[in-house]
Structure 1
Amino acid sequence: MRDFPSCFGENGVQVADSSSGASRTAQNLVTCVYRSHLCSRSCIVTVTWSKNLMGQGLNVGIDDSTNQCLCKVDIKPWLFSKRKGSKSLEVDGSKVDIFWDLSAAKFGSGPEPLECFYLAIVFDHEMVLLLGDLSKEAYRKTNASPPPSNAVFISKREHIFGKRAYCTKAQFCDKGHVHDVVIECETVGLKDPCLSIRIDKKTVMQVKHLAWKFRGNQTILVDGLPVEVFWDVHNWLFSATVGNAVFMFQTSLSAEKLWSSHTSDLSVLPWSCSQIFRETQLQGLGFSLILYAWKNE
């Protein structure tokens, strides 16, 4: 087993984006990243869904291929803001319109809507990104010209919560099957804890002697595709305060070279997860899923 990437060490467990800030406290966030185009220019669209005591909120950011922010929109918690509306911004002399209708949206336990909603981004009368199942309503509202958005879902970051089992749903390739992912680990009172990962109720990975293997990686198969799984459960086992474990699922084996090339010299300040995350996006290295697993008290 290779050494676990240093970016998942003590200084690298945060995602460096505007939605998470610098705090390491548990936050109910889901961040989805898409590759799309503004006219003929490649861009990265980041959509962050959040949930807190004040309500639910939404953040949309658009960066170009050089990581320069083109525009950013914050939609405040819905207790104080409309669940339906639009905002317009200007990019390079042209208008970017963001439309949303979450008035009838249905949610699970997390902040991300499941159905009965749309979020649409339109640039120069073309659909840059369209999320949700109300596509007819979105096209009618935006007056955008078909065909639908050519955006590709390339990565996801999510905070999940549990005591022994941590559950989420994941789509490991664009337009692929949606799978149930369960990470199970009991650490309380056990001298030799074990880590298990199940996909659609099937155990695909099991790590015994976790106290010695609290960081590591292993390759599994999902939909016939190799998926590299990295884990860091150091905080679960050894932290005096309530901390999170970090798991990363990367669908391209070529990403291993990327990890190795940036972690070979541990004297160098390690990359943050979001930096490596972004390089996989720009190099087209498949889908990435990062999970921050928090233990409920």
Structure 2
Amino acid sequence: MRDFPSCFGESGVQVADSSGSSSRTTPNLVTCLYQTQLSGRSCVITITWSKSLMGQGFSIGVDDSANQSLCKVDIKPWLFSKRKGSKSMEADNSKVEIFWDLSAAKFGAGPEPLEGFYVAVIFDLEMVLLLGDMTKEAYRKTNASPSPSNAVFIAKREHIYGKRIYCAKAQFCDNGQSHDIAIECDTVGLQDPCLEIRVDKKRVMQVKRLAWKFRGNQTIVVDGLPVEVFWDVHNWLFGSPVGNAVFMFQTSQSAEKLLPWSSSQIIVESQLRSLGFSLILYAWKND
């Protein structure tokens, strides 16, 4: 959770990302956060999927509500030839086990597996988090019992790429419908570029006079829920030609109260107040 950016100023998103100076060096990462209960206290499980020339890998970290790390496991891409396995460790006098099987996993363009896999986090023999579609195999392998408190998907950060249109998928509530998000912005040679966002091919937002409104926020409605959209396209308009823009989608009834905070605080406070889900997209222009 600590590596989410501090991204809000008084008038909108303000993010500086130094992860790379060109699209050839930008990261191919997807980070997902899940809130759960361990020994009666709130904790966040962070899973980061990565993809590079070395292959695919992932890391799992468990933090308490004060952002203190309880444990972390890295499955490096160059070790990913071992596509199934397990690791065990101690955290606060309790046993944490992580099992994974990606030997038959199918991947898309990104680093996150789509199907044919499982990743399981076991805490004192209880399944506190289970990802993937191989549920029966996971329970058979781990001998774990279901946890009485299911993990809730609370936030996601993703790097997306394009020249004019940038696409991603979003699920704005736990176990809700998956939606296709398309961000369209043509800035090449235009004196008055326009930003447009579509959800499931339906236009839900349009920002004209973008040179004057390169940072801001606006509320859209998805699945009957208000979703606050924050954007920062300064780098696209005035920065490096291969710089990134940043978008954040926050399901929140009172997002204006969250503006002065860092996004990691937003994620924590959103869950304490049951305000919803956060999606942060880094949009990189391809060469």
Q: When the two structures are superposed, what TM-score results if normalisation uses the length of structure 2? A: 0.91
Q: What is the Cα-based RMSD across aligned positions, in Å?
A: 1.9
> In the alignment, which of 273, 287, 293 is matched to residue 283 of structure 2?
293
**Alpha-carbon distance in structure 2 between the residues aligned to 1:291 and 1:5:** 20
Judge which range, 210-219 or 71-80, deviates more. Answer: 71-80
Q: When the two structures are superposed, what TM-score results if normalisation uses the length of structure 1? A: 0.88
Describe the superposition over 1:129-185 as per-residue Cα deviations: whole angstroms up to 9, x where unpaired: 000000100000110013576000011100000001000110000010000000000
C-alpha contact 2:226 2:251 (8 A) present in aligned 1: yes
Q: Which residue of 2 aligns with 1:223?
A: 223
Describe the superposition over 1:71-123 as per-residue Cα deviations: whole angstroms up to 9, x where unpaired: 00100105654110011110111210000001111111111111111000001
Q: Give the residue type in structure 1 aligned to 2:267.
A: F
Q: Which residue of 1 aligns with 2:274?
A: 284
- 1:171 matches 2:171: yes
Shift of 1:32: 0.5
Q: Which residue of 2 aligns with 1:8?
A: 13
- 1:233 matches 2:233: yes
Q: Quickly say closer, same or farther: Cα 1:114–1:80, change in 2 above 3 A.
A: closer
Local SS of the residue matching 1:109:
coil
Local SS of the residue matching 2:145:
coil
C-alpha contact 1:8 1:232 (8 A) present in aligned 2: yes
Q: Give the residue type in structure 2 aligned to 1:253.
A: Q
Q: Which residue of 2 aligns with 1:136?
A: 136
1:88-237 equivalent positions in 2, closer than 5 A: 88-146=88-146, 150-237=150-237
C-alpha contact 2:216 2:231 (8 A) present in aligned 1: yes
Q: Which residue of 1 aligns with 2:19?
A: 23
Local SS of the residue matching 1:139:
helix
Q: Quickly say closer, same or farther: Cα 1:177–1:5, change in 2 above 3 A.
A: farther
C-alpha contact 2:122 2:128 (8 A) present in aligned 1: yes
Task: Count how many residue pairs are aligned between Structure 1 and Structure 2.
Answer: 276
Shift of 1:281: 3.7
**Alpha-carbon distance in structure 1 between the residues aligned to 2:91 and 2:264:** 24
C-alpha contact 2:12 2:232 (8 A) present in aligned 1: no
Describe the superposition over 1:215-255 as per-residue Cα deviations: whole angstroms up to 9, x where unpaired: 01110000011000000000000003521100000011223
Q: Which residue of 2 aligns with 1:49?
A: 49
**Alpha-carbon distance in structure 2 between the residues aligned to 1:273 and 1:194:** 26
Q: Which runs of 5+ in 2 are unaligned?
A: 1-7
Q: Which residue of 1 aligns with 2:253?
A: 253
Q: Which runs of 5+ in 1 are unaligned?
A: 15-21, 263-270
Q: Give the residue type in structure 1 aligned to 2:279.
A: L
C-alpha contact 1:33 1:45 (8 A) present in aligned 2: yes
Local SS of the residue matching 1:198:
strand
C-alpha contact 2:12 2:216 (8 A) present in aligned 1: no
**Alpha-carbon distance in structure 2 between the residues aligned to 1:175 and 1:184:** 27
Q: Quickly say closer, same or farther: Cα 1:80–1:109, change in 2 above 3 A.
A: closer
Shift of 1:7: 7.6
**Alpha-carbon distance in structure 2 between the residues aligned to 1:56 and 1:147:** 29
**Alpha-carbon distance in structure 2 between the residues aligned to 1:190 and 1:7:** 23
Local SS of the residue matching 1:256:
helix
Local SS of the residue matching 2:131:
strand
**Alpha-carbon distance in structure 2 between the residues aligned to 1:7 and 1:230:** 6
Q: Give the residue type in structure 1 aligned to 2:107.
A: F
Q: Quickly say closer, same or farther: Cα 1:282–1:241, change in 2 above 3 A.
A: farther
Local SS of the residue matching 1:174:
coil
C-alpha contact 2:12 2:230 (8 A) present in aligned 1: no
Q: Percent identity?
A: 74
